[in-house]
Structure 1
Amino acid sequence: MSDILDKDALDQAAALERGEISTEELMIETLARIDAVNGEVNAIVSLRDRDAILEEARAADKAPRKGWMHGLPLAVKDLANVAGLPTSMGSPIFAGQIAEKDDIVVARMREAGAIIIGKTNTPEFGLGSHTFNPVHGATHNPYDLGRSAGGSSGGAAAALACRMLPVADGSDMMGSLRNPAAWNNVYGFRPSWGRVPSEPHGDSFLHQLATNGPMARSPRDVAALLDVQSGRDPRQPHCYDADPCLPEIGQETKGLRLGWLGDWGGAFPMEEGILELCETALAQFPEIGMTVDPVAPAFEAAKIWDSWTTLRSWAVAGASGALYEQEKTRDMLKPEAIWEIERGLSYSAMEVHRASLIRSQWFRRAAELFESYDALILPTAQVWPFPVDWRAPQEVAGQKMDTYHRWMEVVVPVGLLGLPCLAIPAGFGASGPAKGLPMGLQVFGPRGSDARLLALGQAWHEKTRFTDIKPELLGNT
């Protein structure tokens, strides 16, 4: 019966609703898959007691259906709170801390019927696009266990690739839903900022870089989970209601105009083979009725990077500055967190203002581009999945990296503006060290174009079916 795990989430849900499989049977299959592969991948952490999970599954079989997720297993990214489970955030400061209640997005997924079985691994505080931490260790790439699964939603993406979960939640500041999607051959969606709420604490007006969002093995499933996660929280000023995306997943996409930004006119160094693979993949868009045109650099990359690093460090300092102020907890922070906090604390109000002026200028320029194009496309990453024992790449294509995250600069133009962006699989490396490693494209549009991007992605998915190519480690499991 293990082929049920290969089905998309909505198909699993339909099988449950028709009584073709019980929640208990699905959960037994899921736990068997976790037993078989999670020891090597380390994607799911803080797994609940098996008997408790199965008891909840049996109860779900007897209960009225709550929503489309009724009876589906879910593990939540370890940055979010799940009542009764630890929220380590990958930090020894919070290791063993048990959450008293669900975060908003978690509560919505539970209310839709999901059975939460544990957490998915993440870097410390989600900093860095490589999932490792001193609490749970590193998550390994299912397509090459010696490589990184990306991050910060690396555990979520690897669990999806291994069919340990049908859908997964994640979050994205600097590509955290996009980079791991590319490296694990799945889909990750960064929604329009404000569509999916964060938690109503701290500042609610100034920081607009990070957002929660969905991941899955098809854009159709992404849309279904996004609709569960979305919706206004009256305590947050920029949070809003939006029309559901799933009913629009089959909308007409023929005739859409796409702009290819490539390596931003050479501003973003790329490892060998990435641009070639992406451009080969782009050739499939005309086969499904969309046009793709090359687009010249749209804005000075150095200005975008300067704005981003200022606003990001300022946001990190605002969120974690209190941990830095106490010597005991400061000594437990990883160097990258200390670097971000110290930078953020050093800025004057006018330096932050200047960074936001650049952001505003880039937003207006992007709006002009969207008058000509329905969506724009970039590679999802500048490097192939790197050795899992690295902290971060020190250079890319011969260019030395001056920060721990410069190698992910390609995701910054989207994140800086809070635009919706779908990471789609683009295939696999053909030769050399990259042979067999996944890579992807990020397709982004103007704010509010979430449904159109997901429909575009579904047309792509039905054409390419890249996610049907499973990691070899699954074997006959």
Structure 2
Amino acid sequence: MSELIAATAREVVAGLRAREFGPAELLKALEERAAQVEPVVNAIPERFFDLAHRAAEGIGAEGDPARWLAGLPLVVKDYNDVAGVPTSMGSPIFAGTPAPESDAMVRRLEANGAVPFAKSNVPEFAGGHTYNPVFGATRNPWDPRLTAGGSSGGSAAAVAAGLGWLATGNDLGGSLRTPAGYCGVVGIRPTPGRIPRRSPKVPFDGLWVEGPMARDVRDAALMLDAMVGWDPHDPLTSPDLPGSFLSAMSGYGPPRRVAFSPDLGLLPVEPVIRERTERAMAAFEHLGATVEHACPDFTGAYDTFQTLRAELVAASHGPLLGEHRDRIKPDIVWNIERGLRQGTDAVLRAQRRRGELFHEVVRFFDDYDVLVCPTAPVMPFPVERHWPTEIAGTPLDTYIDWIAITFFVSLTACPVVALPCGLHEGLPVGVQLVGPPGSEARLLAYAAELEAAAGVAGRLPVTPRKHG
């Protein structure tokens, strides 16, 4: 069973197709693994193995190429619906109410052979650190005293700790990329419209996307292949599907011109993050790339994102305030109220600046193949802290200020691959590889080159040890 847990998703899918084992054996291995490490990390507090076994009975392994995952068990983030399982969103308001059906993204994965068996822990509604009043805090498998990041912290921790080969994530301001960096796994924030979303309340919003999380780049590409698709309730999706990203990766060589920025020109970043991420660029230089310190002009991005995020949070969760205000985390109440009170002028300015930034970034990629920057400006912090209040001596005002290095990029509609670039004192350090809209396959090829040099993927899964 330990050999199955340590295998890549690609190896496990190959074994399923060859009928070397079936989903039942994989679910048994995961149940044993959960008993061993879940008490330490608290990554998948909602597990439903009985439902998963019943679902797996209907999946054969005949090698149908449309069924990419062939019965592979899957962890689903607890912001997404799985039929018959509660979607708590980390809130006591929603805990315990089963979803009547799986949402669009999960249905796509199920149709492609995935077998959901667990829900991963999340922050209450949103946030960069995974803790909530329903299930408590998720801990980093590399050091359980520390945060796994958020909001896809449960998914990242589960994949890193061998509680699943693949997990779903989603990303508004960095919710997929921050935990990928902290837990040493790979996360993809795709171009908006690649993956259908769960009947979005604000259907034309392009800040929030769904994405895969895996232990290595090629496993993440495999999962992306199983997630892309069209849904009539998500107007950003298209019925014209791309070919396989996993296959297309082989068609690209290393990048020629790499833009690296430790701070996107504006942001406070701890010295260790600056040093460790810049050192990783030697891998691209070794492949013949020219690495330059450069980035688009992100002036105004902070206010732009804070305004647009507040508008989205208020549109999505504002109706809850009247009845449930006392049951909602104060940070979320603040975010909703900001969205409700900010003026039309502020929203219009933000929309205009986002448009200007988008065009500036597209022009930037006329000169560079990829932009590289850190996934977080600080190393993982103690799990008891809600969020960092300062970075490198610069005080922070809100619970999302510290993830500005990811939410600046969210404004651009560009795809991003987040992955570890190395270790510092035994903990992963991550980078974002950003490319022009639609460039996922090329970014994955670049990420695979960096991954080979970093060597972190070969150390997964980690078995967490409880610290006294």
State the TM-score, normalized to the length of structure 2.
0.94
Percent of pairs with identical residues: 40
Paired residue for 2:247?
247
Distance 1:269 1:200, change over 3 A: same
Please say if 1:316 is aligned against 2:313: yes
SS in 1 for 2:379: coil
Deviation per CA, 1:335-373, whole angstroms, max 9, x where unpaired?
A: 111111111001222321111111111112112211100
8 Å contact from structure 1 (residues 288, 460) kept in 2: no
Q: Which moved more, 1:218-227 or 1:435-444?
A: 218-227
Distance 2:359 2:24 in 1: 52
CA drift at 1:463:
3.6
Q: Which moved more, 1:234-243 or 1:14-23?
A: 234-243
Distance 1:234 1:320 in 2: 23
Paired residue for 1:154?
153
Distance 1:220 1:300 in 2: 31
CA drift at 1:201:
4.5
Deviation per CA, 1:409-464, whole angstroms, max 9, x where unpaired?
A: 111221012210000111111xxxxx212110001011111111112112222343
Distance 2:201 2:101 in 1: 18
Tell me which amino acid in the other structure corresponds to 2:84. G
Tell me which amino acid in the other structure corresponds to 1:315. L
8 Å contact from structure 1 (residues 274, 382) kept in 2: yes
SS in 1 for 2:96: coil
Distance 1:458 1:210 in 2: 25
CA drift at 1:51:
4.7
Please say if 1:76 is aligned against 2:76: yes
CA drift at 1:196:
1.1
SS in 2 for 1:92: coil
Q: Which moved more, 1:75-84 or 1:453-462?
A: 453-462
Please say if 1:269 is aligned against 2:259: no
Paired residue for 1:341?
336
Paired residue for 1:299?
297
Paired residue for 1:432?
none
Deviation per CA, 1:182-235, whole angstroms, max 9, x where unpaired?
A: 000000000001111213353323x22110011111221111211221122234
Tell me which amino acid in the other structure corresponds to 1:319. S
Please say if 1:455 is aligned against 2:445: yes
SS in 2 for 1:353: helix
Tell me which amino acid in the other structure corresponds to 1:401. L
Task: List gaps (5 residues or longer) in structure 2.
Answer: none
Q: Which moved more, 1:235-244 or 1:100-109?
A: 235-244
Distance 1:24 1:403 in 2: 45
Distance 1:471 1:2, change over 3 A: closer
Distance 1:162 1:16 in 2: 22
CA RMSD after TM alignment: 1.9
Paired residue for 1:427?
422
Paired residue for 2:134?
135
Paired residue for 1:181?
180
Distance 1:371 1:330, change over 3 A: same
Tell me which amino acid in the other structure corresponds to 1:75. V
8 Å contact from structure 2 (residues 422, 455) kept in 1: no
8 Å contact from structure 2 (residues 69, 226) kept in 1: no
Please say if 1:411 is aligned against 2:406: yes
SS in 2 for 1:439: strand
Paired residue for 1:21?
21
Tell me which amino acid in the other structure corresponds to 1:304. A
Distance 2:359 2:195 in 1: 23
Tell me which amino acid in the other structure corresponds to 1:367. V
SS in 1 for 2:180: helix
Q: Which moved more, 1:315-324 or 1:12-21?
A: 12-21
Paired residue for 1:163?
162
8 Å contact from structure 2 (residues 160, 462) kept in 1: no
CA drift at 1:63:
8.1
Paired residues for 1:6-405 under 5 Å: 6-48=6-48, 50-54=49-53, 56-57=55-56, 60=59, 67-125=67-125, 127-205=126-204, 207-240=205-238, 241-244=240-243, 245-265=245-265, 267-295=266-294, 298-301=296-299, 303-326=300-323, 329-405=324-400
Distance 1:235 1:144 in 2: 41
8 Å contact from structure 2 (residues 215, 460) kept in 1: no
Task: List gaps (5 residues or longer) in structure 1.
Answer: 430-434
Tell me which amino acid in the other structure corresponds to 2:210. N
Distance 2:246 2:303 in 1: 37
Distance 2:370 2:31 in 1: 40
Distance 1:426 1:386 in 2: 19
8 Å contact from structure 2 (residues 108, 227) kept in 1: yes
Distance 1:75 1:300 in 2: 35
8 Å contact from structure 2 (residues 188, 211) kept in 1: yes
Please say if 1:442 is aligned against 2:432: yes
Distance 2:306 2:61 in 1: 51
Deviation per CA, 1:358-401, whole angstroms, max 9, x where unpaired?
A: 11111121122111001111111011110001111111111111
8 Å contact from structure 1 (residues 375, 445) kept in 2: yes
Q: How many aligned positions are there? A: 462
Distance 1:472 1:74, change over 3 A: closer
Distance 1:361 1:201 in 2: 25
Deviation per CA, 1:138-184, whole angstroms, max 9, x where unpaired?
A: 00000010000001000000000011111111000011110000000
Distance 2:44 2:214 in 1: 15
SS in 2 for 1:273: helix
Tell me which amino acid in the other structure corresponds to 1:320. H
